[in-house]
């Protein structure tokens, strides 16, 4: 699917089917937690801690759900919020507030130098990339770009949620720093960019998970019907 088709699925599920966005986020995050647990089980030390790296959008919300479910399963999970807390809104904020009531293992990076996290992130058994999702269009800048570079250099397996941060959803091109994941768990369908030459260097193994809603027929049929469904 393209970026616009992904957004159309979310809009259709919420506005037409009446599935709350929180339910979609919960389903996505729980599936990602399953994938994280499997990745840990394949390591020499399945009891290793997990670091969830969260940006400021709905992708971060998925990450907050992942951290909560890992903790419920007895897996130690720390969350690193790379965006100012006041920028977290909507469903993502709901899940952050829930997580804050459950644990103190949330690190608000704020103005702290991202470079100071290099040694810390090397000590984890798994990093979860919830920095930015399909909505990122263009090269990463500032703290997010720095965080991606530090995560890649940590030498720790990375699970990307929906799409590796920094990889363009439609073209599969990295216009700047981009997460190099060992595994990407993506939702509803593969993203069009995943099949571009070189994209596999960033996605690693791709797992497709559902979020509890079907793909509407206009999108599966393609053609003008799909274009009409997507709207302006």
Per-residue pLDDT at 224: 41
Separation of alpha carbons 60 and 128, rounded Å: 10
Tens-place pLDDT, residues 185-203? 999 999 999 999 999 999 9
According to DSSP H, which parts of the chain are helical?
A: 3-11, 21-41, 58-72, 90-102, 118-121, 142-153, 200-203, 217-221, 223-230
Confidence of residue 111 (pLDDT cuts 50, 70, 90): low
Percent above pLDDT 70 for the chain: 90
Q: What are phi and psi of 208, to 5 degrees?
A: -100, 125
Give φ, ψ of 162 to 5 degrees.
Answer: 75, -50
Residue 187, beta-bridge partner list:
209
Q: Could you count the other beta carbons within 10 Å of the beta carbon of residue 120?
A: 14
> Does residue 222 surpass a pLDDT of 60?
no
Q: Which pLDDT score is estimated for 113?
A: 73
Instruction: Report pLDDT for 219.
Output: 58
The domains found in the chain, sorted by start residue, are: 3-212 (3.40.50.10260)
Q: What is the pLDDT of residues 129-156, one digit of tens each?
A: 999 988 788 888 888 899 999 999 999 9
């Amino acid at each position: 699917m393209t970026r616009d088709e992904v957004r159309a699925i979310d809009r259709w599920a919420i506005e037409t089917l009446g599935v709350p966005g929180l339910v979609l986020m919960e389903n996505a995050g729980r599936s990602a937690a399953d994938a994280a647990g499997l990745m840990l089980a394949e390591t020499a030390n399945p009891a290793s801690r997990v670091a969830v790296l969260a940006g400021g959008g709905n992708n971060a919300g998925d990450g907050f759900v992942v951290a909560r479910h890992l903790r419920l399963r007895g897996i130690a999970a720390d969350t690193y919020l790379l965006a100012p807390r006041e920028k977290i809104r909507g469903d993502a904020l709901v899940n952050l507030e829930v997580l804050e009531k459950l644990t103190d293992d949330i690190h608000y990076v704020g103005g702290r130098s991202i470079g100071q996290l290099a040694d810390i992130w090397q000590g984890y058994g798994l990093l979860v990339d919830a920095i930015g999702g399909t909505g990122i269009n263009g090269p990463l800048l500032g703290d997010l770009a720095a965080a991606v570079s530090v995560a890649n250099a940590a030498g720790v397996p990375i699970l990307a949620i929906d799409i590796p941060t920094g990889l363009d959803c439609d073209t599969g091109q990295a216009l700047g720093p981009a997460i190099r994941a060992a595994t990407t768990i993506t939702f509803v369908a593969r993203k069009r960019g995943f099949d571009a030459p070189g994209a596999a260097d960033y996605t690693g193994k791709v797992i497709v998970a559902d979020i509890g809603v079907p793909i509407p027929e206009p999108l599966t049929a393609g053609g003008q019907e799909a274009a009409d469904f997507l709207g302006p």
